[in-house]
Amino acid sequence: MRKQTKISNAVIRRLPRYRRYLNELRKKGVDKISSNEFSHLTGYTASQIRQDLNNFGGFGQQGYGYSVEGLYHEISAILGLDRGYKMVMVGAGHLGQAIVSHTYYYKTGFEVTGIFEVNPNLIGTRINGVEVMNYENIVEFVEAEGIDIGVICTTKDAAQEVADKLCFAGVKGLWNFAPVDIETPSHVAVENVHITDSLHSLAYHMNRK
């Protein structure tokens, strides 16, 4: 039974982490886990974990713990990972290539089906079997292929314009790696990834050691 209340963004950010640990437990053949054991593994308090999972109706049984397989699939369904997504990559530089390779090798359920570039030296090449195409043709491709997500690995200056074009073409989400917060119409979700934020948290913790 899934509650349909508004879940805070902080909870949503913890779910992928819970899911990763559950996946590792599944691979090791672990059937069930208590919130205390799960706390020890993930670094979140047992009370935090119980509270987070209660947002979605619980799943645990008193004195038994959580079913690893059940909780993994339930969290996957909550996140919308029980289906696949088609993505286009914009920008075939090193970061774009790294992300295309990552999604290819780790079979994440998010498939890059087209890569777009303005650099004529890259257009026509292939990355993990996927063709690098002329950015001019991106709208037609997104419409024809029913692309769900646009991944932006362009420069900071080009990112918002690329985002606008992808939204116009009909994507439902943007995963942005350009170092700027891009804006989207209210019907398009966006994750602005700032990799240096984690470096700054690291600096803080280094100075407290």
- Residues lying near a second copy in the complex (CB under 8 A) are found at 9-10, 12-13, 15-17, 19-20, 78-81, 85, 93-95, 97-99, 101-102, 106, 108, 110, 148-149, 172-175, 179, 186-191, 193-209
Q: Is 50 exposed, middle or buried (0-12, 13-18, 19+ CB in 10 A)?
A: middle
- Round to whole Å and give the CA distance between 88 and 99: 11
From the CB of 165, what's the least distance to a second copy, in Å? 18
* CB nearer to a second copy: pick between 62 and 196: 196
The beta-carbon contacts of 106-110 under 8 Å, at least 24 apart in sequence, are: 109/81, 109/83, 109/84, 109/85, 110/84, 110/85, 110/149
From the CB of 180, what's the least distance to a second copy, in Å? 9
* CB nearer to a second copy: pick between 68 and 149: 149
From the CB of 64, what's the least distance to a second copy, in Å? 26
* CB nearer to a second copy: pick between 45 and 61: 45
From the CB of 10, what's the least distance to a second copy, in Å? 7
- Round to whole Å and give the CA distance between 89 and 116: 6
Unique residue bearing structure tokens 């805070």: 8
